[in-house]
Amino acid sequence: MPASQSSRSFDLSESDEHTLCLFSADLGGWTRVVVEKPFGKDLDTAEDLSAQLGELFEEKQIYRIDHYLGKELVQNLLVLRFANRFFLPLWNRDNIANVQIVFREKIGTEGRGGYFDEYGIIRDIIQNHLLQVLCLVAMEKPISLKPEHIRDEKVKVLQSVMPISNEEIVLGQYEGYTADPTVSDHSNTPTFATMILRIHNERWEGVPFIMKAGKALNSSKAEIRVQFKDVPDLYHVGKKQGRNEFVIRLQPKEAMYMKLTVKKPGLDMSTIQSELDLSYGQRYQDAVIPEAYERLILDTIRGDQQHFVRRDELKAAWEIFTPLLHTIDEGKMKPLPYKRESRGPAEADDGSYEPSGLVHKKNLVKICQDRFMDDPVLAMEV
């Protein structure tokens, strides 16, 4: 670049309450703006923000960051899906029973209650991070790895998501959340949410995508669980076989493992569920896995938009969640209380709760039952 040219990258982290006040001047070189969430609070505010930015910068200059797109195993998803013969023929409604995309965090909202109370767990985690993961799990193979081709496919997935049914949602708020002085005593903000997203296309029709996120829980993890359909139990060798399940653990300790049924070692012909395990810490001992932000900021300098959210993608994401968010904001759907360091509201697991028809978990319950049928302790809990 000639010495007289100047390239600039701005990192913006603005709440939607503030009107953008930026100007663009041509100093030669490149100008890029890195925009941090929140990208609005709903469809209209996000579109306003996009319009304001769009007046100042071209889309190719705008880098909307979702740091989940910088995580090692999220970046691995395309390779995993499209470079392995194992998965290509199985990755569809004929073979997959459900997909679970889960975020759990032990910490609560301490220190950022004021921000969080305005947004809640759906805007904070599900509408962006988990939805981006869903796109990569569900999308068709892009015609190339060019950013536009990948993002085109993600948009198609988002546009195929059906309206979320109020009957397939469980919301929670941990006890003590409102004790934070920056949180309203009567806050209706969910700190836990699980819901089913349904993708209306040829590959995924009928397959529930179960999204789950919560704070102040008993564990911290982010993972994708792909549960395959049952096989007929031909051999009748004891208890019902567990399902094949492919787990991609994004954090902590990146790992992928495939749960499968094998003969229990020994004289008897009985079965046991075991795992094929690829734990990164063991397998790639010398590898340095960069922080998500390290990668993404480097991408902005390189001018690679593959792992950033495009305007139409953002719009489609808000279209999915805005009706539900407005229902919650208007107090028409209430979060259930749950204890800190628990799994969240018991109702998200056991299906015993059905107030005013808003929360109904037949499908969630069915999935839990399927999973735990062969575990006597958990089966009793369901």
Ligand X SMILES: NC(=O)C1=CN([C@@H]2O[C@H](COP(=O)(O)OP(=O)(O)OC[C@H]3O[C@@H](n4cnc5c(N)ncnc54)[C@H](OP(=O)(O)O)[C@@H]3O)[C@@H](O)[C@H]2O)C=CC1
Ligand Y SMILES: O=C1O[C@H](COP(=O)(O)O)[C@@H](O)[C@H](O)[C@H]1O
Q: Give the integer Cα–Cα distance in Å for 270 and 205.
A: 35
Q: Using CB under 6 A, which of 247, 260, 289, 358 touches ligand X? A: 247
Longest dimension (CA), the chain: 79
**Contacting range for ligand X; rule: CB under 6 A; set: 88-96, 136-144, 253-261, 356-364:** 253-261
Q: Identify whether the C-beta of residue 42 lies closer than 8 Å to the C-beta of residue 317.
A: no
Give least dist CB 244 to ligand X, A: 11
Q: Is 186 a catalytic residue?
A: no
Give least dist CB 222 to ligand Y, A: 5
Q: Give the integer Cα–Cα distance in Å for 98 and 208.
A: 5
Binding mask 272-301 for ligand X (x = CB under 6 A): ---x-x-x----------------------
Q: Cβ atoms within 10 A of the Cβ of 89, count?
A: 9
Give least dist CB 215 to ligand Y, A: 7
Q: Which listed option, ligand X, ligand Y, none, makes contact with residue 124 (CB within 5 to 8 Å by class)?
A: ligand Y
Instruction: Establish if 255 lies at the interface with ligand X (CB under 6 A).
Output: yes
Subset of 94-153 contacting ligand Y (CB under 6 A): 105, 124
Q: Give the integer Cα–Cα distance in Å for 285 and 295.
A: 20
Q: Which listed option, ligand Y, ligand X, none, makes contact with residue 218 (CB within 5 to 8 Å by class)?
A: none
Question: Which one of 129, 236, 307, 326 is the catalytic residue?
Answer: 129
Subset of 206-225 contacting ligand Y (CB under 6 A): 222
Minimum CB distance to ligand Y smaller for 122 or for 139: 122
Minimal CB distance residue for ligand Y: 124
Q: Give the integer Cα–Cα distance in Å for 117 and 65.
A: 22
Residues in the interface with ligand Y (CB under 6 A) total 4
Strand partners, 195: 169, 211
Instruction: Establish if 65 lies at the interface with ligand Y (CB under 6 A).
Output: no
Q: Which listed option, ligand X, ligand Y, none, makes contact with residue 277 (CB within 5 to 8 Å by class)?
A: ligand X
Subset of 246-275 contacting ligand Y (CB under 6 A): none
Give least dist CB 176 to ligand Y, A: 17
Instruction: Establish if 102 lies at the interface with ligand X (CB under 6 A).
Output: yes
Q: Which listed option, ligand Y, ligand X, none, makes contact with residue 279 (CB within 5 to 8 Å by class)?
A: ligand X
Q: Give the integer Cα–Cα distance in Å for 321 and 123.
A: 8
Q: Which listed option, ligand Y, ligand X, none, makes contact with residue 222 (CB within 5 to 8 Å by class)?
A: ligand Y
Minimum CB distance to ligand X smaller for 170 or for 316: 170
Given the DSSP bridges, would you call strands 31-35 and 255-263 parallel, antiparallel or unpaired?
Answer: unpaired
Instruction: Establish if 203 lies at the interface with ligand X (CB under 6 A).
Output: no
Give least dist CB 73 to ligand Y, A: 12
Q: Using CB under 6 A, which of 165, 257, 353, 373 touches ligand X? A: 257
The site for ligand Y (CB under 6 A) is made up of 67, 105, 124, 222
Q: Which residues are the active-site residues?
A: 129
The site for ligand X (CB under 6 A) is made up of 102, 212, 225, 247, 255, 257, 259, 275, 277, 279, 343, 349, 368, 378, 381
